[in-house]
A and B are shown apart, each in its own frame.
Chain A
């Protein structure tokens, strides 16, 4: 196999693995803390910023 063709094949396999590793992480369940954080942020907006003490 010519060298550049071989390199392209190697890169293709590497990218395939990168996508697999990344996808596995994407599919993990999100920790609850992010849902709670978003609830807090929404609530803060609901207060209309009038009492920033919260």
Chain B
């Protein structure tokens, strides 16, 4: 037995891997099953990992490939979402951070899988457009366009495109007002 198995490094990436799975599936139970699958695949096929490359990127790639291959099998575009759309958040003014983040999560959950995935990779996890393109098996231009469309849609859902939102203070950074409230036109 050697001193340190290089596979032990997988453990360090599990919290991020699970966060990615939750963002992608929007369902805690499904996310955990996918993390489990990914751990088994990564552990048993570690010889496929090229040493010196990004282990986190490799794990994320296994997980997203599993997700899309399951999605194709079940022919289901939209996963079961746990309580993402519950509550009447839109009717309450977003004067505190918790409400604001709940609104953001709700908006984010409405994006198509590919846009959500791209925004998590390049917007939240710090992967470059090139790395994300490699992980998703698409051209860099495709990743850029998914990121742009995703950000634009989030801005619309959060009504960030209204001028008044830009005047809000930092505590209401992502200025959410009632969706039923004042329309821009």
Contact = CB atoms under 8 A, between A and B. Distances in A.
Contact of B19 (A14, A25, A37, A45): A25
Interface residues of A, number: 31
Report whether over half of chain A's contact residues are helix, strand or loop; otherwise say mixed.
helix
A2 B54 CA distance: 39
B78 interface: no
A20 B43 CA distance: 30
A22 B23 contact: yes
Given A25-B18, A25-B19, A41-B44, 13 more contacts: A1-B166, A14-B119, A15-B124, A18-B124, A21-B105, A22-B20, A26-B18, A33-B32, A34-B36, A37-B40, A38-B10, A38-B39, A42-B5
Interface of B: 1, 5, 10-11, 14-16, 18-20, 22-23, 32, 35-36, 39-40, 43-44, 101, 104-105, 108, 119-120, 123-125, 151, 154-155, 158, 160-161, 166, 173-174
